[in-house]
Amino acid sequence: MDRIALVGGTQLKGSIPISGAKNSALKLQAASLLTSEPLVLTNMPELADTRFMVELLEQLGVTCFWPKASGRLSMHAEDITSTIAPYDLVRKMRATFNVLGPLLARVGHATVSLPGGCAIGARPVDLHLKAFEAMGADIVIEGGYVKAAALRGLKGAKIVFPFVSVGATEHAMLAATLAKGETVLENAAREPEIGDIAHCLVAMGAKIDGIGTSTLRIQGVDELKGTTWSVIPDRIEAGSYACCVAAAGGEVTLTHVVPETISSLIDVLQRAGVEVEVGPDWVKITRDPAVPIKPVDIDTQPYPGFPTDTQAQVMALMTRANGASIFRENIFENRYMHAPELRRLGADISVRGSEAVVRGVDTLRGAPVMATDLRASVSLIIAGLMAEGETIISRVYHLDRGFERLEAKLSGCGAQIRRLSGSEE
């Protein structure tokens, strides 16, 4: 397995283009199963996860064409040749589970392995399955597989989620586009990626009202057509690089950004004393490294609150703040696995249940550390940019799941970062 080595202490200067959003792209890939016509995605991020999804789609009979470094993926599910998503593929990441709804809606049955992915808590799929049952599907879990059938087609239903779930909202919305009658999703998640998926589905012929609100109304149609769609820029990637600049100091412009999707992070950075300038599709981050970072408390919340997916990045930044910061993780349990690794660099972090207290220190020092999940891995990059000496991060396959050309983007702004082949593990 590869590792990443970086030496801290260098300010970042330049610009970083933000890639398409992984969390939207994966569900849009699953949406290709809903139509017999080609679905073409542009601004497509080339990641381990999106490549995994292509493997699964091809196994189901989808013809995929994705020239390397083109940012353009064409998918044509003219005929579904298999409705079985095997464990060997689904275990690699959770998002592959989202082929269940589209297969159920279009073909009437599917057998999909229960998902794998990052170890940041249970993240059960019971809300997904309850939504499909409400739409008339018969579901059995057997041998680690979900076996679902709706041989007469899915039916519209009123579904009230007991708590906000991004995955369940997206999955139910995908399936409801081909259900008979109206489906109402109440207490739906409002993340920008859900809006991106919904607008793409509308371009394919779906009828969806309430996009961007907590109530979605979907009128089922007989069939969807193909379209070409540009994936929304990745707000988590944008937030991660913003934290990199805030940590290292310097001046970097993030391009191809939708600034309103990272407004909660911008607020946090400004309260921390970081200068942020916002344009129509760009955000400039500026910080003098001689000026101390101010401590900021964080409570993760569903969108438009502060995202759990940038909690680890801000925690890394706060390890050098002039004072104590309190973090409260309200979305996922077990999402402080980066804390012990940050402590290896000299951070002062105390974790108690869903709360973490970060007391800023004068100096971090490079050390060997290990990535535990996708977002935690980039927190170690951020800390390494502030640390004295060299930091070597192992298990960077986590990074490759969600960050496109990370070393190239950071080194292009002056960071001393490189990939090492092989592992000492």
Confidence of residue 362 (pLDDT cuts 50, 70, 90): very high
How does the average pLDDT of the chain come out, rounded?
Answer: 94
pLDDT at res. 116: 59
Confidence of residue 139 (pLDDT cuts 50, 70, 90): very high
Question: pLDDT per residue over 50-64, tens digit each?
Answer: 999 999 999 999 999
Confidence of residue 345 (pLDDT cuts 50, 70, 90): very high
259 marked as part of a ligand binding site = no
124 marked as part of a ligand binding site = yes
Question: pLDDT per residue over 268-292, tens digit each?
Answer: 999 999 999 999 999 999 999 999 9
123 marked as part of a ligand binding site = yes
List, in order, residues 6 or more apart from 70 with CB less than 8 Å away: none
Question: pLDDT per residue over 391-403, tens digit each?
Answer: 999 999 889 988 9
- The mean pLDDT value for 22-37 works out to 98
Which phi and psi angles does 217 have, rounded to 5°?
A: -115, 120
- Locate tokens 């002039």: which residue? 322
Q: Is residue 299 part of a domain?
A: yes
Cβ-based burial of 184 (10 A; exposed 0-12, middle 13-18, buried ≥19): middle
127 marked as part of a ligand binding site = yes
Q: What angle do CA 109, 76, 97 make, to 5 degrees?
A: 40
Question: pLDDT per residue over 2-20, tens digit each?
Answer: 999 999 999 999 999 999 9
Task: Note whether 231 and 25 are within 8 A (CB).
Answer: yes
126 marked as part of a ligand binding site = yes
Q: Is residue 344 part of a domain?
A: yes
- Locate tokens 């690699």: which residue? 92
Q: Which domain holds residue 411?
A: 3-15+233-420
Cβ count near 246 (within 10 Å): 32
- The mean pLDDT value for 33-55 works out to 96
Q: Is residue 95 part of a domain?
A: no
Q: Which of 118, 200, 243, 413 is catalytic?
A: 118
DSSP-derived letter for residue 201 is H
Q: Is residue 228 part of a domain?
A: no
Q: Is residue 75 part of a domain?
A: no
**413 is known as an active-site residue:** no
Whether the pTM exceeds 0.75: the reply is yes
Q: Is residue 61 part of a domain?
A: no
331 marked as part of a ligand binding site = yes
CATH number at residue 345: 3.65.10.10
125 marked as part of a ligand binding site = yes
- Inform me whether the pLDDT recorded for 235 exceeds 60: yes
Q: Is residue 100 part of a domain?
A: no
> What is the Cα–Cα distance from 109 to 291, expressed in whole angstroms?
59
147 marked as part of a ligand binding site = no
23 marked as part of a ligand binding site = yes
Confidence of residue 119 (pLDDT cuts 50, 70, 90): very low
Q: Is residue 362 part of a domain?
A: yes
How many domains would you assign to the chain? 1
- The pLDDT > 90 percentage for the chain reads 88
- Inform me whether the pLDDT recorded for 120 exceeds 60: no
Range with lowest mean pLDDT among 53-57, 333-337, 420-424: 420-424
